[in-house]
Chain A
C-alpha cells in the first residue's frame, strides 16, 4: 500500500492540476462575483478585497426567482417520484403484457427535443391558463425527471431479491402493501439518486422557463440570469453573483450526495 502511494503521488499532482484547469471557470465565476460593481474593464485574478455588493444587488433583483426555482424543483421531485416509483416497480417485477411497449416509449422520450414539447405545450397551456404558473412549470419540467427516474429505479428494483417480496406476500401483504412497506424502503438509494437528478434537471431548466412564462410572476432563476445578461451588461458582479447562487445546489449535492450523483451519472444504482 505504501509503495502504491509513493508511486501514485505524481499522478495525484497531475490529477489536481487537470482538475484545477477543468474547474477554472467555476473559480472565475466566484472571483468575478466578488469584484466591485462597474469594474468591467479590469478583473483581478484574485478577490483580494472581496466586495459583496454583487450579492446584495443579486439578492434584491433575483432573490424571488431563486425561491421560484426552489419551489418548482421540489414540486417536480415530488411529482416525478410519485409517478415513477410505482411504474418502475411494475416494469421491474410484474409480468405485464405491454410492459415492453411502455419501456420502448420511455426510451423514445429521451430522443424528443425539448423544443417540440415546448412548442405544443405553449398552445395547450395558453388554452388551459397554465402559462406563468407553478403547476405548468412543474408538469413540463418533470418531462426530464419522470423517464430518468423510471429508468434508474427500475434497474435497481430488478435487483431486489425475490425472497424479500415473497416473504411479505406469505405474511399476507397485498401488492400495494408490499410496495409501500418493502419495496420503497429497500430502494432508498435509487429513490435518492432519482430525486437528486430530478432536482438538478428542474433547477437547470431553461427552455420551459423561457417558453412557458411570459411575465415575471413565476420566473425561475435560469431565466432571471438570461434576462439579467440582456439588461445589465455593466453589472457583471451582480450577474456572476446570481450564477454562483444558481450553482450552489449542484455543488452542494455533489459534495453531500456524492455516491448518488456518481451512481446516477453512470446509470448504475446497484453498486
Chain B
C-alpha cells in the first residue's frame, strides 16, 4: 500500500470507529430481539423452560393458537378503538391548542411550554393520578359530575366494560395533547404570514383562510403527527396496565397488553412472542405510511 492510500484507509477506519459502538448497541438491543422474537414465536415455552432450557419447535402453532382464540378479535378491536379514539382526540384538541397559541398574547410562550408537562410525566404517574380521579366512588370526576347534577349515581369509569375503554382513551388523549400541540404549532409557525395577509385581502374570513391556507400547508405535518401518534399508541402498555389492568373482564386488553400477559404472566413466551410480532406487523404498516408522509413533508 502506498502512503497516501494507507493514510486514507486509516482515516476511513477512524471514521467507522465513531459509528461502530452505537451500531453494535443497536444490533444487540434491536436487531437481536427482533430475530430472537421470531425464533421464540416458533417455540413452545412453559414455566419450566428457563430452568430446563427445553423449548421445542412447534412451527406456526403459536400463531394459529393466538389467532384462533376468542381473545384475539376482541383485543384487535380494542386496539383499533383505542388507537383511533386516542389519535382523533389528541389531534383535534392538539390542533385547537396550537391554533390558539398562534395568537400573540402576554405569557403565551410560558403557558405553551407548561402545557408540555403531561407529556413529560412518567406514564405510571399520570395513570395512577387518573385512576384515583376516575375512581367511581371516591374519585373527583364523579364528585364533579354529581355536583353539577350531570349524573346522580356517577359513571363506572373503571368498572364498566365500555366505560373503562373510554377512560383509558381519555387518559391517553390527555397525555398526547402536548406532543400534538408542539409539533402542529411548529408547523403553523412555518407558514409564511404573507399568505394570510393575501387571503385577508381577498376577503377570506378566519374559516376560509384556515381551509385554503392553513390546512393545505399544514397537511404534511399533520400526516407525520398522525402516524407518529399511531405508532406510539398501538404499543401503549403503561397506561392500560396502571389505569385498568386490562380489565374489567378483559375489556381493555389490547394486542400489546396481551403480548405482555402471555409472556410475563402466563410464561407462554412463545405465544407472547407471536402476539408481539403481530404488533410489529401493525407498526411496520404504519412505518411505511410514515416514511412516505415524511418524504412528502420534506419535498414541500
> When A122-B263, A206-B124 are in contact, do A14 and B100 touch as well, CB less than 8 Å?
yes
**B252: shortest Cβ distance to chain A, in Å?**
16
Min CB distance B128 to A, Å, is 5
Q: How far is the CA of A253 from the CA of B122 in the complex (A)?
A: 13
Q: Which chain B residues lie closer than 8 Å to A231 at the CB level?
A: none
Are A122 and B269 within 8 A (Cβ)? yes
Q: Assess the B26–A146 pair: CB atoms within 8 A.
A: yes
A116 at the interface (CB under 8 A from B): yes
| Interface-facing stretch out of B29-37, B65-73, B149-157, B159-167 | B29-37
* A193-241 contacts to B (CB < 8 Å): 200, 203-204, 206-207, 210-211, 221-222, 225-226, 229, 236, 239-240
Interface code B259-300, partner A: CB below 8 Å = 1, 0 otherwise?
110011000010011001101100110110001000000000
Please give the distance in Å from B224's CB to the nearest CB on chain A: 10
Interface residue? A50 (CB, 8 A): no
Bound CA–CA A122/B280 (angstroms):
18
A18 at interface by CB-CB < 8 Å:
yes
Interface size class of A (residues with CB under 8 A): 35 or more
Pick the contact of B106 from A12, A120, A200 — CB < 8 Å? A12
A-B pairs with beta carbons under 8 A, tally: 284
Q: Are A250's CB and B122's CB within 8 A?
A: yes
* Whole-angstrom distance between the Cβ of A69 and the nearest chain B Cβ: 9
Q: How far is the CB of A239 from chain B (nearest CB, A)?
A: 6
From B14, B50, B105, A9 is in contact (CB under 8 Å) with B105
A266 touches B287 (CB 8 A): no
Query: Which of A22-30, A54-62, A160-168 is the contact stretch?
Result: A22-30
**Interface size band for B:** 35 or more
Asked if A8 meets B121 with Cβ closer than 8 Å, knowing A87-B19, A112-B33, the reply is no
The reply to whether A19 and B121 contact each other, CB–CB distance below 8 Å, is no
CA distance A122 to B19 in the complex (A): 27
21 CB < 8 A contacts A-B: A8-B103, A8-B108, A11-B108, A16-B107, A22-B118, A23-B114, A86-B18, A86-B19, A94-B18, A110-B287, A111-B231, A118-B260, A120-B32, A140-B29, A204-B124, A210-B241, A210-B264, A229-B242, A240-B132, A243-B129, A265-B183
Chain A positions near chain B (C-beta within 8 angstroms): 4-5, 7-9, 11-12, 14-16, 18-19, 22-23, 25-26, 28-29, 32, 40-43, 82-84, 86-87, 89-91, 94, 96, 99, 102, 105-124, 126, 139-140, 142-143, 146-147, 150, 174-176, 179, 200, 203-204, 206-207, 210-211, 221-222, 225-226, 229, 236, 239-240, 243, 246-247, 250-251, 253-254, 258, 261-262, 265-266, 268
